[in-house]
């Protein structure tokens, strides 16, 4: 599947209705973003069951603000609706491919258990 341009109206639906979603926050004027774009596109072709979205920070300022994007490109990943990865900077092609493979193998029951434990700990501290 090629990359999708993601806008605010379709953002939540995309995250909720797909098992694994990667997002590339970018802008037209950003040199590193332009270099990362073709890498992101190539890797997206290798994983047809993963949604690779692109979010233009100039056009989608509310989404960029929601994630506190301070530098671009920034890659964010969601698995089963939960944010599991966020990193500013362009990832090398092999690293991006490796990231997708690791995310595919990520045990979300463990992730949910860790989140629940952290929330319980925070609730105790209040």
Q: What is the DSSP letter of 86?
A: E
End-to-end CA distance of the chain: 46
Our CA angle for 62, 74, 43, nearest 5°, is 120
Q: Which of 21, 30, 39, 100 is catalytic?
A: 30
Q: Which of 15, 21, 33, 100 is catalytic?
A: 33
Whether 33 is catalytic is yes
Give me 124's structure tokens.
């105790």
Taking alpha carbons only, the member of 93, 94, 95 closest to residue 85 is 95
Handedness of CA 116, 121, 122, 126 (dihedral sign): positive
Whether 30 is catalytic is yes
| Active centre residues (catalytic) | 30, 33
């Amino acid at each position: 599947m090629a990359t999708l341009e993601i806008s605010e109206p379709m953002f939540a639906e995309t995250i909720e209705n797909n098992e694994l979603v990667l997002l590339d926050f970018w802008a037209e004027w950003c040199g590193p973003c332009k270099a990362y774009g073709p890498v992101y596109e190539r890797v997206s072709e290798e994983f047809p069951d993963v949604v690779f979205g692109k979010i233009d920070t100039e056009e989608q300022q509310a989404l960029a603000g929601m994630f506190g994007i301070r530098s671009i490109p920034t890659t964010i990943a969601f698995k089963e609706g939960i944010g599991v990865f966020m990193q500013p900077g362009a990832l090398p092609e092999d690293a991006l491919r490796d990231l997708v493979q690791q995310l595919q193998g990520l045990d979300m029951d463990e992730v949910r258990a860790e989140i629940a434990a952290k929330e319980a700990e925070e609730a105790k501290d209040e």
